[in-house]
Structures are given as C-alpha cells and as structure tokens.
Amino acid sequence: MPHDEVEARMQALVQSWEESSDQRSIFLKCYLMMTRNMHLAIQLDEFRDPDWVDHLVNHFAGYYFMALEAYEQDPAAAPPVWQLAHRAARDPDLIGIQKLLLGINAHINYDLALAVVDMLKPEWGELSDGLQEDRYVDYCHVNEVIGSTIDEVQDQVLEQVMPAMELIDTLFGPLDEKVISSLLGHWREKVWHYAEQLLKAMDVEDQVRLRLELERDAIKIGHTIGFTDRA
C-alpha cells in the first residue's frame, strides 16, 4: 500500500473514532504522527536504504490493518495481543497512556518482528555483513524518529484525554519523554533479536516455538501495562 494511502486510511479511522468517542483513536493518532514523520525522514534521505525503509513502514502498517479487520469481523480471530489492546481502549478504568502503550505494545512487540522477518527473509541468505549492518542501522534510526515524535504525541494526543499530562510535562520537562523513548527503543531492540532468531530457525518447529514465545512475551507486557491478570 503506498504511503499516501496508508496515511489517508489512518486519518479516516482517527476522525471516525474521535467523532464516536472510540478511544482506539489514541493509539492510531499517535501511530499516524509517527508514520508521517517516518515518511518525512525517508524523503529527507535520513536512511542508508530509503526504499527498503519505505517498504518496511508500509508493510508494517499492513499488519495493523489486518489485525483491525480481523477484530472487526470476529474479535476472537485477531491476534490475542490485539484483542487485549482493542478491549482496553473501551475500558473506562484505564487511562489514556495505558491505552496508548497497549496499542504500541501489540504493534511493536508482536507485529514488528513479523514485518521485519517478511522484509528480510527473501534476501537474508544473500546479504553481506555490510548490508545486514545497513539494515540494522536503518532500523535503529527509526528510534530517533520515534523519539522526536513523542513530545508531539504528548501534546496533541495524551493531553486531550489526560489533562494531568500537561502538569507532568511542565514539572518534569523532557524526562518523561526520555523514559518513553527509552522503553520503546528497548522493545525494538528485543524485536530485532527475535526477528534474527526467526530468520535463523532451520525447521518449522523452531519457527512455531519462537513465534509463540514472541506472542506470549507481548501478551505478558500487555497485562502488565493494563494491570490485568494473566489468566
């Protein structure tokens, strides 16, 4: 899906959800901001292989839309970590930052590993050490784009649903943004290593085991964010 179509589809959903007070808009509005900033960074030639990064960004978005479509048709058909995030968006006992982080958790700690594997698998056996490094460096540069977006997300998304965030931002300045940026960077580093393990897995049993482990870890993080039982 071309990046302009990705952004347009996200924007339409955000508008619809905001009009209907559906708080799934919290995560998606954040994701739209980050996606726009990623496309801008690509246009500014910030990556070693901008075409590869552009393909990854748009392919990654496809996982979000697939999970959403599955949930809309039959909630039980969506990946469990996304079931958790979508249910949480409608939970009045959870605050905005929890709903945001639950969406980010599902998309980074589950979807991203699968998207990276999809992108690297066709070329993995032929990539030189230098090209593997290029892929990793580009992947890591995304952390900087995310970090530069967090303040915007806090101002335009979280403060709308959590007025106290403005006070927190005033009292602590960039500290809270650095904490969130560091957390997401940690998650993305772990995801890269999961992707490498999946790419190196020689048989189907190992691949299935790793994918289930990936899913379990994401669900565990989700329950921690949402303060829910793991049962």
- pLDDT of amino acid 172: 40
For the chain, how many helices (H) and strands (E)?
A: 11, 0
Rounded distance, CA 74 to CA 68, Å?
10
Going by C-alpha positions, the residue among 76, 64, 140 that lies closest to residue 104 is 64
Range of the domain at 192: 3-226
Tell me if 223 sits within 8 A of 84, measured CB to CB: yes
DSSP letters for 104-131: HHHIIIIIIHHHHHHHHTTTGGG--HHH
* In a domain? residue 117: yes
Query: To the nearest 5 percent, what fractions of the chain are helix, strand and coil?
Result: 85, 0, 15
Q: Give me the sign of the Cα torsion angle 97, 11, 111, 42.
A: negative
- Structurally, the chain folds into a number of domains equal to 1
Is 91 a domain residue?
A: yes
For the chain, what percent of residues have pLDDT higher than 70?
A: 90
Least confident of 45-49, 95-99, 227-231: 227-231
Position 8 in a domain: yes
Q: In the predicted model, what is the mean pLDDT of the chain?
A: 90
Is residue 231, in this structure, part of any structural domain at all?
no
pLDDT, residue 154, reads 74
